[in-house]
Amino acid sequence: RDFHERCAQCSEVNWGLTDGGRFYCRTCHNVTERTREVVSTDIIPNARIQTISKGLRNRQKADEGWEWYVCEGFQLVLKKQAEALEALGVCPQMKDEILCNFWRRYLQKSQQAYCNRPAREAVRALSVCDSSTDVDSEPERPSFLHLLSLSESDGDLQTDCSFASSTGKVSESTSVCSGSVDGSLYLMKNGKEKLRMSMPMTLSFCYMALLWLREPMTLSDLLRFVVEGHIPYLNVYQHFPEKMKLYGLDLKIFCVESWPVYEEVYSKMLELAAFLDLPRFPDITESCFLHPDTLCMKYLMEVNLPDELHNWTCRVVKKVCIGEADFLTLTPGNKSTRKVKYDVLAAAVIVVVLKLLFLLDDHYEWLLSDFAAERNKNNKEGGPYFEFKKWYKVIKCSLDVEQKKLDEERAKYLWRCEKPLFYSVKKKSKVLRRRQMVVNLQSQFGKLSGSVRPAERPNPSSFQLSWSEENTDGTCFHGHSLKGILQEKNGVLTAINPDYWLCTVKLCTEKLCGHLAHYREVDFPQSYHFVLRLFSFLLRIQPSYIHEEVCVIEHKLFNKKLCKKPKYNTGLRK
């Protein structure tokens, strides 16, 4: 009756006593550390029962949690992401043998652990705030530096004692500034510091490990699984242990309120591989999923194009020498080689092949479609001829539906997680009370409006668009023939179309620009833009990135004609 504090879980005041003398909440059954002290009547006669223990005033401060560092928080995020990838079918060696070694090497290179850390850095980390007051220690906790792999030994590396601390001492000043010990110091560091850890960099670590193992998962697939919620990234801090308090400045570090960006994650991965002094990655050969021939086959199936186009993509890959292991394999720190985005490269090859066969100039592809439609009316043997116009209508309808669904899901996404956050311990009960009120109101309004609960998250799949040849409505074009647009010349099938238009005559060479080509929709045919938009949706990137790769492949494909000086001032057409 004399204990009037609110429950930390449900904010109710409805306490009972356990057999051990601790207070528990009758509403949510949460057991607290507060105990009821009973003075033995055998020693002191006529003694009263004390309602609440008053001997440990600092116990409430000790309940604030463990002492932890920012790098430990990121390590826990990496652990959760690696476990999610394993659940998706990634090789079990990724977490304990690959990602763990990458992370330990990063901690050593950045002098955060596994090294003799300068004493002044430890002093700065513990003196971020103006004052500190030690409290009673708690039972020992496991070091987060061993969470990634509990089976491996640390070798001969010397771990910094401040990061492997097994005591749970927490300073009052640390609680005010942030839940972590060095949260303030982390944000005060110079922005030019080499590869300061961030949430997007956790995805760079994961992709680097996937690339090292040559797993059948591209960067676009990884980021899509993140957005769909299969890999922890958004609101990942809700997976932190209860004793690992997160508030204050920590929210600026671990709280993500934007979707991961392809270019940022990829560029950080390249910088990270060079920073860690990693050797040449395992070779990307023709048997690997990341090889252009394999990825082109996958994307041709997904965008519902004829299977015969795969022979043409293989010919382009061989002609421009982008299927060689030396070109595809990542060599960190080698600035002379161009870094490959495997999914973007495969999509660009398909676009180039479509331009070779159909021209995509808003005129020629429609003439070929009319010709194929006439042939299909009289064709009674073999498979149907491929009609670009019919394919365009089918794909555009599906693409518009999927794009609208994606836009609605992103617009309705709630950035706040179910686990409420608070910037200070004093406001915890107030935040919990407000959160409970919001949940109750949402439940009541949902019942009144009759709204349907959101459907469960779909199972992850490598294909976003699926087409079955068993459909009788003619929406699957995999088995359609390209005979209407090909002709045999000297025993080799060539395109009837003799022309080709270049996206750009000259690539941009300015270093400050950072791009080899630029893209504006109004400057190009609508058919070309539609194909770019289709692959842009599948890869979740801007069309300009695919356009840039298309320009590079074109210049390799027509290198001899581009280097040859024309006799007349005419554009390159044939």
- Rounded to 5°, the CA angle 390-364-498 comes to 130
225-262: per-residue pLDDT in tens?
999 989 999 888 888 887 787 777 888 888 888 999 99
Report which of residues 111 and 51 the model is more confident about: 111
Tell me the pLDDT of the chain averaged across its residues: 78
What is the per-residue pLDDT for 454?
Answer: 57
- Please name which of 165, 76, 183, 193 lies closest in space to residue 125, comparing C-alpha atoms: 183
Token pair of 425, please?
A: 């311990």
Residue 556: phi, psi to the nearest 5? -75, -35
pTM: 0.77
> Which residues share a beta bridge with 178?
248
Q: Rounded mean pLDDT of 158-184? A: 49
More confident residue, 408 or 12: 408
79 C-beta neighbours (distance < 10 Å), count: 20
Specify which of 17-26, 364-373, 557-566 reaches the highest per-range mean pLDDT: 364-373
Side chain identity, residue 153: S
Q: What is the DSSP string of 7-41?
A: PTTT----EEE-TTSEEEETTT-PEEEEE-----T
**Backbone phi and psi for residue 295, each to the nearest 5 degrees, phi listed first:** -65, -35
Are 219 and 343 a contacting pair, CB within 8 Å?
yes
CA distance 45 to 82: 62
> What pLDDT does residue 143 have?
43
Instruction: Specify the DSSP class assigned to residue 248.
Output: B
> Which pLDDT score is estimated for 263?
94
Place of tokens 């002098």: 111
The string of DSSP letters for 379-419 reads: --SSSPBP-HHHHHHHHHHHHHHHHHHHHHHHHH---S-SS
Residue 129 has pLDDT above 60, yes or no: no
pLDDT at 503: 87
β partners of residue 31: 24
Q: Taking residues 266-286, report their average pLDDT.
A: 95
Q: Is the pLDDT of residue 140 over 60?
A: no
User: To the nearest whole percent, how much of the chain has pLDDT over 90?
Assistant: 41
Q: Report d(CA 367, CA 55) in Å as an integer.
A: 90
Alpha helical stretches, state H, 245-387 = 250-254, 262-275, 292-302, 309-319, 325-328, 342-358, 364-378
CA dist 15 and 141 (Å) reads: 29
Position 562 confidence tier, pLDDT thresholds 50, 70, 90: low
Encode 36-79 in three state secondary structure: CCCCCCCCCCCCCCCCCCCCCCCHHHHCCCCCCCHHHHHHHHHH
Give percent above pLDDT 70 in the chain: 73
Mean pLDDT of the region 311-337:
92
Q: Which uninterrupted H or E stretch holds 122?
A: helix 119-126
Given a contact cutoff of 8 angstroms between Cβ atoms, the answer to whether 223 and 262 are in contact is yes
Range from 54-58, 116-120, 567-571 that averages highest in pLDDT: 116-120
pLDDT given for residue 156 in this prediction: 35
The pLDDT score that the predictor gives to residue 37 is: 55
DSSP letter, residue 559 = H
Higher pLDDT, 79 or 115: 79
**pLDDT top residue among 266 and 52:** 266
The band of 540, judged by pLDDT with boundaries at 50, 70 and 90, is very high
On whether the CB atoms of residues 519 and 549 are closer than 8 A, the answer is no
pLDDT tens digits, residue range 19-46? 667 777 877 777 777 766 544 444 444 4
pLDDT, tens digit, for every residue of 177-232?
667 888 888 877 655 566 889 999 999 999 999 999 999 999 999 999 999 989 99
Contacts 24+ apart (CB under 8 A), 187-192: 187/249, 187/252, 187/253, 188/128
List, in sequence order, every beta strand (DSSP E) within 430-505: 486-489, 492-495
Q: What is the pLDDT of residues 436-464, one digit of tens each?
A: 787 788 777 777 776 555 556 668 888 88
Least trusted range by pLDDT, from 143-147, 334-338, 347-351, 418-422: 143-147
CB-CB contact of 504 with 551 (8 Å): yes
Please tell me which residue, 543 or 415, carries the higher pLDDT value: 543
Neighbours of 257 (CB within 10 A): 8
Lowest mean pLDDT among 153-167, 281-295, 304-318, 513-527: 153-167
Closest CA to 358 of 371, 377, 343, 345: 371
At 283, is the pLDDT very low, low, confident or very high (cuts 50, 70, 90)?
A: very high
Residue 305: is its pLDDT beyond 50? yes
Residue 323 confidence (pLDDT) above 60: yes
| Residues 327-332, mean pLDDT to the nearest whole number | 94
pLDDT at 256: 87
Lookup: tokens for 68 = 């932890």
Which whole number is the average pLDDT over 100-108? Answer: 93
- The DSSP call for residue 233 is B
pLDDT confidence tier of residue 148, bands split at 50, 70 and 90: very low
User: Would you tell me how many other CB atoms lie within 10 Å of the CB of residue 456?
Assistant: 6
- Higher-pLDDT residue of 398, 517: 398
pLDDT at 338: 82
**Phi, psi dihedrals of residue 104, rounded to the nearest 5°:** -65, -40
pLDDT digit string, tens, across residues 45-97: 444 444 434 444 444 444 556 788 889 999 999 999 999 999 999 999 999 99
Any idea what the Cα angle at residue 309 is, between residues 304 and 313, rounded to 5°?
120
Q: Determine the pLDDT at residue 118.
A: 41
